[in-house]
Amino acid sequence: MSPKTLPVADRAQVLADVRRLLAQHRGPGLRMLGLHALAALAGLTGPYLLGRLVDDVVRTVRGGSTYAQTAHRIDVLVAVLVGAVVVQAVLAQAARRRSLTLAEGVFAQLREEFLARATALPLSVVEQAGTGDLVSRTTNDVDALSYTVRYGAPAILVASVTSVLTVVAAVFSGPLVALSILAGVPGLFLATRWYLRRAPQGYAAERAEWGRISTTLGENVENVRTVEALGLAEHRVALVDEVIGATVRRERYTLSLRTVWFPSIEMSYLLPVVVALLWGGFLVRHDLQTVGQVTTVVLYLRQLVGPVNELLAWWDELQVGQASFARVVGLSSVEPDRVTRDDRPVSDDVHADRVGFSYTPGRPVLHGVSLELEPGERLAIVGPTGAGKSTLGRLLAGINPPSDGSVRVGGAEVTGLPLDELRSRIALVTQERHVFAAPLRDNVALAAPGSSDEQVLDALGAVDARGWVQALPQGLDTPVGENGLALSAAQAQQVALARLVLADPHTLVLDEATSLLDPNAARHLERSLAAVLEGRTTVAIAHRLHTAHDADRIAVVEGGRITELGTHHELVDAGGSYAGLWRSWHGEA
């Protein structure tokens, strides 16, 4: 199976999703911006009043007014200034509260949508892409997006509103002096343009490398015994070093962008202030602007540094958030691998008609396989490794849709059934055993939420597990999985099979479900499972030939085709591939 990466949303998809969110939260967003705008206006009164104060002092010095009049005006201006500060503090607090509330709501929606997208991914896509990338998106990218949505996006919006209002106030207070603002625009524009041309790709590559780290570390943990048995520790450590090194190089690249961008914009902040002082002095000398106007504009320029600096600093963080958002939204680009149809099964028979399948276009794994299963029949599928046994089992279970032909249950297309209905009819059991960090009861009852303790115990009893479960100190309440009781391989498989008993599908596909157990445990589990399988259609992908011997029919798969089909005795008498396998296995036994 060739690897297939999960998609990343392009710029158009990201913008479309952002517009959707803005439209959904337009009302609360406008109220939040309104409060911030009022807080910003209150904050702009300080420089304006100080400019008026300077003009009053200059007028007094020049004899235009008395000291008593000036003192009174100063008292009034100071009182207004104090009031403005208080109002600004109250409005800013209310605006901040609304910002955080809105951001939490938006992030909660994004998280729920992401989980819905992730859990709706076709199983075949997840298996081909591997779990590392998906886990990285679930952890690293969601965390980065959380930080951006909760703090970055509100800060950028507030800083933008404050910056615009500050520029407008500067122009209103001293239009000629305010021309000095233009001195910082070219440097700010060119530096930011240079940065934005490189940053999105740099941060996207950085997030992808973090996904590689998760994948590589996950593989090491999952396959630690194989690594130890084959002496691959040094190789795997070297691979981890290589992946980390690539991540470091990506982060150094984005760091280099910031080390150029930040000093450039710092210079763009300073230049307008210098120009305003020199240009303002010229204007005052020629009575084109007052000293108070120059003072006000210079103070506004200094005040402008804060929101612009915050805007650009958060804009850098926004690149990380945008890269993570693209990876989160990208899951919605995964096309469904099936289309639900209206037809429903009228019986429990399973029929594969000229089925073909390819994991990679042009490289078929199965070729025109046809197979009919009667209700209650036990079919064993045998053959060499890589022949297509597991792939055929997955098609029969509806995990993958066939590339050619069709698989039907009761006359209805298997992959056309809603997933809930499909899983209630056909279930796949593999050699993988998933035990969740939860009480044993919850682990078993996953297949049928709401099952009583007696039903759970009956299901465990059906797979011969009731004895060891009842011997546990806490019984069904015993925590298992991570930070709980470690179940043996056989016990974990019994839990998985007990889930099937509760789910009660009419057809089971067993993909070497006991192959990883020791022979005694496997044989014991197969005997206890025989009663559970009674009356159900069973497709067993056989690892041990005694499983095939007990089946009603045996299908031999070679090179993606069924080359032999019949009972055990028929195939042994035919002297074909199965007969050779049986004699070889029986002789070793």
Asked whether residue 306 falls in the same domain as residue 371, the answer is no
Q: Which of 507, 526, 534 is CA-nearest to residue 352?
A: 507
Q: Assess whether 386 and 313 both reside in one domain.
A: no
Q: Is residue 1 domain-resident?
A: no
Contact 317, 148 (CB under 8 A): yes
The Cα 26–Cα 37 span in angstroms is: 16
Give the pairing type, strands 426-429 and 507-511: parallel
Question: In this structure, is residue 19 part of a structural domain?
Answer: yes
Whether residue 156 is contained in a domain is answered as yes
Both 361 and 292 in one domain: the answer is no
133 near 214, Cβ under 8 Å?
yes
pLDDT at 337: 77
Per-residue confidence (pLDDT) for residue 504, from 0 to 100: 86
What is the rounded distance in angstroms from the CA atom of residue 430 to the CA atom of residue 138?
25
Contacts of 362 (CB under 8 A, 6+ apart): none
Among residues 277, 308, 333, the one where a domain terminates is 333
Q: Which of these, 36, 273, 294, lies nearest to 163 by C-alpha position?
A: 36
Question: Both 383 and 310 in a single domain?
Answer: no
Q: Is residue 533 part of a domain?
A: yes
Do 283 and 355 lie in one domain? The reply is no
Instruction: Please tell me the predicted confidence (pLDDT) of residue 553.
Output: 93
Confidence (pLDDT) at 1: 41
Show which of 281, 304, 333 is a domain's final residue: 333
Q: Which of 403, 422, 418, 580 is nearest to 503 (CA)?
A: 422
Domain match, 310 and 360 both: no
DSSP 8-class letter at 140? I
In a domain, 370, yes or no: yes
Question: Which residues, in sequence order, are CB contacts of 163 under 8 Å at separation 6+?
Answer: 304, 307, 308, 311
226 shares a domain with 356? no
Q: Kindly compute the dihedral angle of the four CA atoms of residues 212, 213, 217, 220, in this order, to the nearest 10 degrees.
A: 50
Token readout for 146 is 């959380």
Residue 308 and residue 267 in contact, taking contact as beta carbons nearer than 8 Å: no
Same domain, yes or no, for 376 and 302? Answer: no
Tell me phi and psi for residue 542, to 5 degrees.
-85, 130
Q: pLDDT at position 308, please?
A: 82
Question: 407 pairs with which residues across the strands?
Answer: 352
Contacts of 335 (CB under 8 A, 6+ apart): none
Instruction: Quote the CA–CA distance of 531 and 253 in Å, as a whole number.
Output: 62
Number of domains in the chain: 2
Quick one: DSSP state of residue 6? P
> HSE (CB half, 13 Å, CA atoms) of 146?
11
Residue type for 239, please?
L
Q: Positive or negative CA dihedral for 465, 469, 471, 472?
A: positive
Same domain membership, residue 574 and residue 498: yes
Pairwise CA distance, residues 429 & 514, whole Å: 10
| 365 domain residue, yes or no | yes
Taking CA atoms, 59 is separated from 48, 49, 62, 69, 378, in Å, by 17, 15, 5, 11, 105
Query: Where does a domain end: 270, 300, 333?
Result: 333
pLDDT at 405: 92
Nearest-10 crossing angle of helices 11-24, 26-61 = 80
pLDDT for the residue 371:
93
- The one-digit pLDDT tens for each residue of the chain (589 residues) are 444 678 888 888 888 988 998 899 999 988 988 988 898 888 888 888 888 888 777 777 666 666 777 677 778 878 888 888 898 889 888 988 888 888 888 888 888 888 888 888 887 787 777 777 788 888 888 888 888 888 888 888 888 888 889 899 989 988 999 899 888 888 888 888 888 888 888 888 887 888 788 788 878 887 877 887 778 888 888 888 998 999 899 999 988 988 888 888 888 888 888 888 899 889 988 888 888 889 998 988 888 888 888 887 787 778 778 888 888 888 888 888 778 888 888 888 999 999 999 888 888 999 999 999 999 899 999 988 888 888 999 899 988 889 899 999 998 998 888 888 888 889 888 777 788 888 999 999 988 888 899 999 988 888 888 889 989 989 999 999 888 888 888 888 888 888 888 888 899 898 866 555 555 656 666 665 666 677 889 898 876 677 788 889 999 999 999 999 999 999 999 988 889 888 887 664 4
Does residue 341 form part of some domain? no
Total residue length of the chain: 589
CB atoms within 10 A of CB 39: 23
Q: Do 324 and 354 belong together in one domain?
A: no
DSSP summary character for residue 485: B
Q: Which residues contact 349 (CB under 8 A, 6 or more apart)?
A: 372, 373, 374, 375, 409, 410, 537
| Domain CATH code at residue 555 | 3.40.50.300
Q: Which amino acid is at 241?
A: D
Residue 4 counted as domain residue: no
First to last CA, the chain: 33
Residues 133/292, Cβ–Cβ less than 8 Å: no
Print the domain residue range for 366.
350-588
The CATH number for 277's domain is 1.20.1560.10
Q: What pLDDT is stored for residue 440 in this prediction?
A: 92
Residue 432 and residue 472 in one domain:
yes
Estimate the share of the chain in helix, then strand, then coil, as percent rounded to the nearest 5: 65, 10, 20
Same domain flag for 182 and 311: yes
